[in-house]
Amino acid sequence: MADHLEHDSSGRHDSLMPSLAILFSTLLWGTLWIPLRQLDNAGMSGAWATALGYALPLLLLLPLGLARRHQLAAGGRPLLAAGFIMAVCISLYTEALLRGTVARVMLLFYLTPVWSTLLARFMLYHPLTPRRGVTIVLGLAGMLVVFGVGEGPPLPRSVAEWMGLASGFCWGLSMVYIRRAEGSSDFDKTFVFFVFLGIVFLLLNLIPGGRNWATPTAEILIRSAGWLLALGLLWMPVVIWLTMFGGSRLDPGRVAVLLMLEIVVGLVSAAWLTDEPFGAREVFAAVLIMSASGSEILAGNPEPGAGGSPRMERPPPAR
């Protein structure tokens, strides 16, 4: 019994810093729409303008990336897949936030605990625990409250909302590959993500209804410089590093549930700074979602073998 309690305490300690990193990242993820909308309002509404903001971190990280080219090459397919799929996720999410309503896009994105848990179960062979089931039910209940019971099924109603849903699935898949790229450093994962991000965003912008392709003028660039630098050198590098740090050390389902706090941040910030509603329904939903995150914080890292959970063996590779 003493050994079990000591092991459980160690599991909680090992998962504390990664969990805090993910929770802090929700402050940036939940307010990502602010620099995007500010740039849009300042005239930086073209696809090239947003891609420029996403390229700035790559320029900043490039010297160290070149110095680590051998380590990057050693990361192989899992590292490339993790960076590419997350780039698809963030590009879809960005377009969805720019095209649609912040609250609805976030809520559809946060079906990701379902995808993450299922993907971790079938691709990483992590067990599905009763506690995880409770947190998912609480989170999904909060989303259903926001959509409104009796107002039709909580399904996407526009291209932007379908993008939000698809980005949530891509997030869960990227977390699986981040765990598979366990031999790569957090920097390597962050760098590869930024290698793909600008290109993937431009390609996804070809989906009908996307940004125009006008090149911003010098006047617009000067007027938007502050927000452009904030997006490219503050929001994106910091939030991605925090996500890679936490996502590399926690199982995908736990990361997804902790990230649900972003919904609260997004709903409150959107209600405060825009005309989007935040009434009793949203408050109730926020309480449910925060309860889901709270139950995860109090739990240890539910990876296979952690906290006394039985480890599920991988099937032997096919010969």
Query: Backbone phi, then psi, for 145, in 5-degree steps?
Result: -65, -45
Q: How confident is the model at residue 2 (pLDDT cuts 50, 70, 90)?
A: very low
DSSP secondary structure code for residue 154 in this structure: S
Q: Mean pLDDT, to the nearest integer, of 214-218?
A: 81
Residues with Cβ within 8 Å of 69's Cβ and at least 6 positions away in sequence, in order, are none
Chain mean position to CA 120: 16
Q: How confident is the model at residue 315 (pLDDT cuts 50, 70, 90)?
A: very low
pLDDT-above-90 percentage for the chain: 19
* Per-residue confidence (pLDDT) for residue 12, from 0 to 100: 53
Specify whether the backbone of 185 is left (phi greater than 0), alpha (psi in -120 to 50) or beta: beta
Per the listing, tokens 């989906």 go with: 207
Q: Is 171:256 a contact under the CB 8 Å cutoff?
A: yes
Q: Tell me the C-alpha distance between 71 and 188, whole Å.
A: 8
Of 173 and 283, the structure prediction assigns the larger pLDDT to 173
Tens digit of each residue's pLDDT (9 = 90 or more) over 122-143: 776 777 777 777 777 877 787 7
101 assigned to some structural domain: yes
Q: Is 255:175 a contact under the CB 8 Å cutoff?
A: yes
* Per-residue confidence (pLDDT) for residue 194, from 0 to 100: 94
Q: Is 34:273 a contact under the CB 8 Å cutoff?
A: yes
The terminus-to-terminus CA distance of the chain in angstroms comes to 42
Torsion of CA 190, 191, 196, 199, to 10 degrees: 120
Q: How confident is the model at residue 146 (pLDDT cuts 50, 70, 90)?
A: low
Q: Mean pLDDT, to the nearest integer, of 33-37?
A: 84
* pLDDT above 80: residue 161: yes
194 assigned to some structural domain: yes
* Per-residue confidence (pLDDT) for residue 217, from 0 to 100: 83
Q: Is 261:26 a contact under the CB 8 Å cutoff?
A: yes
pLDDT, mean over the chain = 78
269 assigned to some structural domain: yes
* Per-residue confidence (pLDDT) for residue 64, from 0 to 100: 93
Q: How confident is the model at residue 6 (pLDDT cuts 50, 70, 90)?
A: very low
Of 166 and 154, the structure prediction assigns the larger pLDDT to 166
Q: How confident is the model at residue 118 (pLDDT cuts 50, 70, 90)?
A: confident
Rg (CA), the chain: 20
278 assigned to some structural domain: yes
315 assigned to some structural domain: no
> 89, 143, 88: which is closest to 111 by C-alpha?
143
239 assigned to some structural domain: yes
* pLDDT above 60: residue 1: no
* Per-residue confidence (pLDDT) for residue 16, from 0 to 100: 85
Range(s) of the domain holding residue 234: 7-307
Token pair listed for 202? 């431009």
Of 156 and 188, the structure prediction assigns the larger pLDDT to 188
Q: Is 131:306 a contact under the CB 8 Å cutoff?
A: no
* Per-residue confidence (pLDDT) for residue 318, from 0 to 100: 44
Per the listing, tokens 């997804």 go with: 256
313 assigned to some structural domain: no
Of 163 and 2, the structure prediction assigns the larger pLDDT to 163
* pLDDT above 50: residue 5: no
Q: How far is CA 220 from each of CA 95, 167, 198, 214, 216, rounded to the nearest angstrom?
A: 21, 30, 20, 12, 6
Lowest mean pLDDT among 69-73, 144-148, 307-311: 307-311
pTM metric for this prediction: 0.76
Q: Tell me the C-alpha distance between 171 and 82, whole Å.
A: 10
* pLDDT above 50: residue 165: yes
DSSP secondary structure code for residue 305 in this structure: T
* pLDDT above 70: residue 271: yes
Token pair listed for 12? 């909680």
> 253, 231, 234: which is closest to 179 by C-alpha?
253
* Per-residue confidence (pLDDT) for residue 242, from 0 to 100: 92
Q: Is 274:102 a contact under the CB 8 Å cutoff?
A: yes
> 155, 167, 11, 23: which is closest to 94 by C-alpha?
167
* Per-residue confidence (pLDDT) for residue 148, from 0 to 100: 65
1 assigned to some structural domain: no
Token pair listed for 116? 């993450």
Please give the tally of structural domains in the chain: 1
* Per-residue confidence (pLDDT) for residue 69, from 0 to 100: 93
Lowest mean pLDDT among 79-93, 132-146, 158-172, 223-237: 132-146
